[in-house]
Every structure is written in C-alpha cells, then in structure tokens.
Amino acid sequence: MGIIPSSLRRSVMKYLEMVKNHVADTASKLMLDLASLLDNALFQLDGVKDDWKRTEMAALREEVFHDFCALCVQNGIPVPAVEETLIAAQAPSADEKTREAHLVRVKTFVEPVLVKIGRKRSAKAKQLRALTECLSNLPSLSGYSGQVSAKQLECVINQMLIELGQEPVRPDYHSRKVGSVNGQPRAEKKVIIVDDDRKEMLKTARALAGWDGLEISFYLYESSGDHWNMTPEKRQAELSKAAQAVVETKSNVVLMDQGLGPIEGDDLVHTIHEICPNGTPVFVANTGGSDDKLRSAGALENCEKGRRLGGVARAVQY
C-alpha cells in the first residue's frame, strides 16, 4: 500500500520498518497492510486543519493502530508507544470564549456546591466532590454543544495518566479480534482508491487490508481552483489531469468515488476510457451516496467505502 500524489509523497515508515525488523519472513499480509496504512503520509494527522475532520481521522486511525498492536502482541512483537496525538485530537477542546464562560460556571455553581458540602465525609459528599472536580476540569462543557462524550472523557483521563508518567489505558490486545479479508485474485492486482476525502480512503483501505494478492494505492483528488465558479473548460482540464494521473498508476482496478468536488466520478470514468479505450481498468463504485451514475458508466456494484466488498471481489477476478 502507499502510492500517493507527489505533493504528499512523504512517509514516516516507522511501523513497516518495525515489522520487517522483527518478523520480516513471517509477517502476515494483514500486518504489513496495517503498518503501511499507519506509515502513509495521507493518513497522518499533520495537515488536517479542520478540528472535526481531525477528530474523525484520529478515531479511525486509532482503530487501525490498535488492530496493529493486537497483531504485534499475538505475534510476540513489542507494541509501539501510543500516539499521543490521537488522544489529544479526540479530547474535548475549548476556545478562550468557552473558557471564560466556564470560569463563570465554576464561580456561580461549583464553588457554592463545595460550600454546601463543607467538611462532610459521607459517601454522597465524596461523590459530589468528585463530580464537581470533574465539572471544573472540563471547560468544553460550557461551550456551544455543552456536551462531553464518554470517549472524550477517556481521552482526558489518558492524557492525565501520561502527565503522571503512566501508560495510557489500551484495549486488551490478547483478545482483540482483528478483521481481515479471506480472498485471493487469480493473479496479483493493483487496486487504486480514488477519493477527495482521506478518511474515506483509509476506511476503504482498512476494509481491504489482508487481502492476498492486492497492492493498494491511492489518488487523492484535490481541486486546483474554486469549484463553485469553475468554467466548463477548467472542469474538463481537471478531469483530464485526474484521469491521466490514475492511468499512469497502471492499476487493474479503480475504486471510484462519485462526488469529487468540481468533477464527478462517472465523468472521470468516461475520461479514462477516452485516454486508453483498449486497456482500461475495471471500475468499482465506491461512494457513500447513490452509485447509479457510476453503474451507468460501467462500474461494478458499490463498495460503500469498504462496507460491501462484492464488487471488488468480482473486479479482482477479471
């Protein structure tokens, strides 16, 4: 796994190197695939500016990380350190305005509660102190949503454990079941995932991880202009550029998203057909919405970002 646009051709190569150093000859395809996903520059949190997208990517990457760690434990390999950025990205955050509002809440609610408790030592009083302490340390509760999820609270606790010099709590890797695909094409196949959303690419690639005989690569489509005011000529130029980039990977199978900002997946399929009419790859729809247009363009049934693999299974048998 790991062919990416030149602008993102940077890879940490930490996890794959670790696997090769410990179990170079016996590593499973699944372990190698997960390591490659974790190393891939596309799926790092660096560069994800939007807070919500960063949180979503962190949650998905964390699942891949824990699956990888489970395979390490189950194969007698030392587990890597927890990526603290994954915890931080999923912990509740508060801007200056929210923090100011929270100081008011502490003053007008928390402090009066503590006065009422006084020096009482009953179990109920201890509970109240614990709850008020928790409320005091979660300023995001005074933000727009006024909510903190159980996952966010776990992240806060893990951050505090790290500050105390302790390891954060991890899943039970010994009993963790790591999903994989049991399939094999007739011959080695190169599969490329085309999308404009890194999270959806990672989700799709994770679903394909462990599939023997598949080499997964990625084409992240990024518009070169304002797609709301794009002229037909500019849109056609975007299509041609994207189509040429996909063709140059010489992939056997293309998992195609439909909505790619200013261009549409079905138009990209047609453009690729025009570039190489006699040697086009097999297309598989891979959209979160309707696949009608992609199917009309000749794509196989929707992969739905890794939720359904029937179309992929058919494509790799061609």
- In tens, the pLDDT along 268-299 reads 999 999 998 778 899 999 999 999 999 999 99
Percent of the chain topping pLDDT 70: 95
Structural domain including 31 reads 6-92+151-163
At 91, the pLDDT band (50, 70, 90 cuts) reads: very high
Q: Which of 128, 163, 198 is the last residue of a domain?
A: 163
Asked whether residue 267 is domain-assigned, the answer is: yes
**DSSP annotation of 108:** I
At 13, the pLDDT band (50, 70, 90 cuts) reads: low
Do residue 135 and residue 237 come from a single domain? no
Higher pLDDT, 12 or 99: 99
Asked whether residue 232 is domain-assigned, the answer is: yes
What is d(CA 143, CA 137) in angstroms, rounded to the nearest whole number? 13
Do residue 62 and residue 35 come from a single domain? yes
Tell me which of 14-18, 28-32, 144-148 is least confident: 144-148
Do residue 24 and residue 155 come from a single domain? yes
Predicted confidence at residue 258, as pLDDT, reads: 97
Cβ burial, residue 173 (10 Å; 0-12/13-18/19+): middle
Overall average pLDDT of the 61-78 stretch? 95
Asked whether residue 70 is domain-assigned, the answer is: yes
Do residue 62 and residue 131 come from a single domain? no
Do residue 197 and residue 231 come from a single domain? yes
Tell me which of 12-26, 34-48, 51-65, 298-312 is least confident: 12-26
Question: Based on the structure, what is the number of domains in the chain?
Answer: 3
Asked whether residue 35 is domain-assigned, the answer is: yes
For 302, phi then psi, to 5°, come to -60, 130
Q: Tell me the pTM.
A: 0.87
What is d(CA 253, CA 260) in angstroms, rounded to the nearest whole number? 18
Do residue 82 and residue 114 come from a single domain? no
Cα-based distances in Å from 75 to 18, 42, 220, 234? 13, 27, 33, 52
Residue 202 has pLDDT above 60, yes or no: yes
- Supply 290's token pair: 């309707």
Do residue 221 and residue 299 come from a single domain? yes
Do residue 77 and residue 143 come from a single domain? no
Q: Which amino acid is at 120?
A: K
Predicted confidence at residue 21, as pLDDT, reads: 86
Asked whether residue 179 is domain-assigned, the answer is: no
Do residue 103 and residue 225 come from a single domain? no
Do residue 201 and residue 305 come from a single domain? yes
Predicted confidence at residue 22, as pLDDT, reads: 84
Do residue 216 and residue 261 come from a single domain? yes
Overall average pLDDT of the 129-156 stretch? 89
Higher pLDDT, 277 or 314: 314
Overall average pLDDT of the 69-93 stretch? 93
Asked whether residue 298 is domain-assigned, the answer is: yes
Higher pLDDT, 264 or 25: 264
Asked whether residue 182 is domain-assigned, the answer is: no
Overall average pLDDT of the 46-55 stretch? 88
Task: Label the pairing between strands 253-256 and 282-285.
Answer: parallel
Residue 184 has pLDDT above 90, yes or no: no
At 8, the pLDDT band (50, 70, 90 cuts) reads: very low
At 7, the pLDDT band (50, 70, 90 cuts) reads: very low
Asked whether residue 21 is domain-assigned, the answer is: yes
CATH classification at residue 298: 3.40.50.2300
Do residue 16 and residue 156 come from a single domain? yes
Percent of the chain topping pLDDT 90: 72
- Supply 318's token pair: 């061609």
Residue 305 has pLDDT above 90, yes or no: yes
Instruction: Calculate the average pLDDT of the chain.
Output: 90
Residue 129 has pLDDT above 80, yes or no: yes
